[in-house]
Structure 1
Amino acid sequence: MKTGMFALASGLLALVFLPALPATGWLIAMLVLALMALPFRTYPLAFFLMGLSWACFSAQWALNDRLSLKLDGQTRWVEGWVAGLPQQTDDGVRFDLIDGRSRKARLPQHIRVSWRGGPPVRSGERWRLAISLKRPSGLLNFHGFDREAWLLARRIGATGSVKDGERLAPARNAWRDGLRQRLLAVDAQGREAGLAALVLGDGSGLSATDWQILQDTGTVHLLVISGQHIGLLAGLIYGLVAGLARYGVWPRGWPWLPWACGLAFAATLSYGLLAGFGVPVQRACVMVGLVLLWRLRFRHLGVWWPLLLAFNGVLILEPLASLQAGFWLSFAAVAVLILAFSGRLGPWSPWQVWTRPQCVIAIGLFPVLLGLGLPISMSAPLANLVAVPWISLVVLPLALLGTALLAVPFVGEGLLWLAGGALQGLFVGLGWLAGYAPAWVPAQVPLAAWLISLLGAVLLLLPKGVPLRLLGWPMLLLAVFPPREPVPYGQVEVLQLDVGQGQSLILRTRNHTLVYDAGPRSGALDLGARVVLPSLKKLGVGSLDLLLLSHADADHAGGAAAVARGMPIRRVVGGETEGLPAFLGTQPCVSGEQWQWDGVMFEMWQWPDAIGGNAKSCVLQVQANGERLLLTGDIDRDAERALLNSSLAVPTDWLQAPHHGSRSSSSRPFLQRLAPRSVLISRGRGNAFGHPHPQVMERYRALGSRVYDSAEQGAVRVQLGAFAEPVVARGQRRFWRERLP
Structure 2
Amino acid sequence: NPFIGFLAKQPVTWLQLDAWPVSREARFGGLFALILVLLVPLKNTWQRTVLLLCLPLSVLVLLNQRDGKLRLHVLDVGQSQAIVLERNGRAMLVDTGIEFNSGFSVAASVIEPFLNYHGLVPELAFISHGDSDHNGGRAFLSRRYPNLQWQGEGSNKPCLAGDTGYWNDLQWRVLWPAREYQDSPALSKNNRSCVLRVQFRGFTVLLPGDIEMPAEKMLLERLRSPAEIESDVMVVPHHGSKTSTSWPLLQAVDADIYLISYGRHRGYRFPHRYTLERLARKNRPWLGTMKSGQLTIVSDGSTWSLELPFENR
Question: Is TM (by shorter chain) over 0.5?
Answer: yes
Deviations 1:335-380 (A, max 9, x none): xxxxxxxxxxxxxxx56xx62xx8xxxxxxxxxxxxxxxxxxxx9x
Q: 1:607 to 1:455 in 2, by over 3 A?
A: closer
Distance 2:267 2:48 in 1: 59
Map of 2:264 onto structure 1: 685
1:304-343, aligned counterparts within 5 Å? Answer: none
Map of 1:497 onto structure 2: 75
Q: What 5-or-longer segments of structure 1 have no aligned partner? A: 1-349, 359-378, 386-432, 578-584
Map of 2:8 onto structure 1: 382
Q: Judge conservation of contact 1:460–1:473 (CA < 8 Å) in 2.
A: no
Kindly name which structure, 1 or 2, has the bigger radius of gyration based on alpha carbons: 1
Map of 2:34 onto structure 1: 456
Deviation of the 1:569 alpha carbon: 3.6
Q: 1:455 to 1:557 in 2, by over 3 A?
A: same
Map of 1:588 onto structure 2: 158
Q: 1:538 to 1:722 in 2, by over 3 A?
A: farther
Deviation of the 1:487 alpha carbon: 4.9
Map of 2:206 onto structure 1: 630
Map of 1:67 onto structure 2: none
Aligned AA for 1:632?
Answer: P
Deviation of the 1:515 alpha carbon: 0.9
Aligned AA for 1:628?
Answer: T
Residue 548 in 1 paired to residue 174 in 2? no
Q: Judge conservation of contact 1:519–1:527 (CA < 8 Å) in 2.
A: yes
Q: Secondary structure at the match of 1:521?
A: coil
Of residues 481, 501, 507 in structure 1, which corresponds to 2:85?
A: 507
Identity %: 26
Q: Secondary structure at the match of 1:700?
A: helix
Map of 1:697 onto structure 2: 276
Q: 1:597 to 1:510 in 2, by over 3 A?
A: farther
Map of 1:137 onto structure 2: none
1:116-195, aligned counterparts within 5 Å? Answer: none
Map of 1:566 onto structure 2: 144
Deviation of the 1:628 alpha carbon: 1.7
Q: Judge conservation of contact 1:517–1:547 (CA < 8 Å) in 2.
A: yes
Q: Judge conservation of contact 1:502–1:684 (CA < 8 Å) in 2.
A: yes
Deviations 1:231-276 (A, max 9, x none): xxxxxxxxxxxxxxxxxxxxxxxxxxxxxxxxxxxxxxxxxxxxxx
Residue 603 in 1 paired to residue 167 in 2? no
Deviation of the 1:514 alpha carbon: 2.0
Q: 1:527 to 1:465 in 2, by over 3 A?
A: farther
Map of 1:520 onto structure 2: 98
Q: How many residues in Structure 1 have an aligned counterpart in Structure 2?
A: 297
Larger proportion of helix:
1
Q: 1:727 to 1:454 in 2, by over 3 A?
A: same
Deviation of the 1:570 alpha carbon: 5.1
What value does the CA root-mean-square deviation take over the aligned residues?
3.3
Q: 1:527 to 1:655 in 2, by over 3 A?
A: same
Residue 645 in 1 paired to residue 224 in 2? no
Of residues 246, 250, 261 in structure 2, which corresponds to 1:671?
A: 250
Q: Judge conservation of contact 2:29–2:56 (CA < 8 Å) in 1.
A: no
Aligned AA for 1:382?
Answer: A
Distance 2:15 2:96 in 1: 22
Aligned AA for 1:601?
Answer: Q
Distance 1:438 1:520 in 2: 31
Q: What 5-or-longer segments of structure 2 have no aligned partner? A: none
Distance 1:600 1:543 in 2: 15
Deviation of the 1:616 alpha carbon: 1.1
Distance 1:651 1:482 in 2: 38
Aligned AA for 1:555?
Answer: D
Distance 2:216 2:54 in 1: 55
Q: Judge conservation of contact 2:262–2:270 (CA < 8 Å) in 1.
A: yes
Q: Judge conservation of contact 2:107–2:141 (CA < 8 Å) in 1.
A: yes
1:172-571, aligned counterparts within 5 Å? Answer: 350=1, 355=4, 382-383=8-9, 439-441=16-18, 442=20, 443-446=22-25, 450-451=28-29, 453-454=31-32, 456-457=34-35, 460=38, 471=51, 474-476=54-56, 483-488=63-68, 492-510=70-88, 513-522=91-100, 523-544=102-123, 546-569=124-147, 571=149
Aligned AA for 2:306?
Answer: P
Aligned AA for 1:605?
Answer: L
Q: Secondary structure at the match of 2:119?
A: coil
Of residues 615, 619, 623 in structure 1, which corresponds to 2:191?
A: 615
Aligned AA for 1:619?
Answer: V
Distance 1:556 1:639 in 2: 18
Q: Secondary structure at the match of 1:453?
A: helix
Distance 2:248 2:267 in 1: 27
Map of 1:719 onto structure 2: 298
Map of 1:257 onto structure 2: none
Distance 2:236 2:16 in 1: 36
Q: Taking CA–CA contacts closer than 8 Å with sequence separation of 6 or more, which of the two structures ends up with the larger relative contact order? A: 2
Distance 1:452 1:682 in 2: 36
Q: Secondary structure at the match of 2:279?
A: helix
Q: Judge conservation of contact 2:30–2:57 (CA < 8 Å) in 1.
A: no
Q: 1:503 to 1:487 in 2, by over 3 A?
A: farther
Q: Judge conservation of contact 1:446–1:482 (CA < 8 Å) in 2.
A: no
Deviation of the 1:551 alpha carbon: 0.5
Deviation of the 1:658 alpha carbon: 0.4
Q: Judge conservation of contact 2:165–2:173 (CA < 8 Å) in 1.
A: yes
Q: Judge conservation of contact 1:683–1:691 (CA < 8 Å) in 2.
A: yes
Q: Judge conservation of contact 1:533–1:562 (CA < 8 Å) in 2.
A: no
Q: Secondary structure at the match of 1:672?
A: helix
Deviation of the 1:625 alpha carbon: 2.7
Distance 2:81 2:122 in 1: 20
Deviation of the 1:673 alpha carbon: 2.1
Deviation of the 1:675 alpha carbon: 2.0
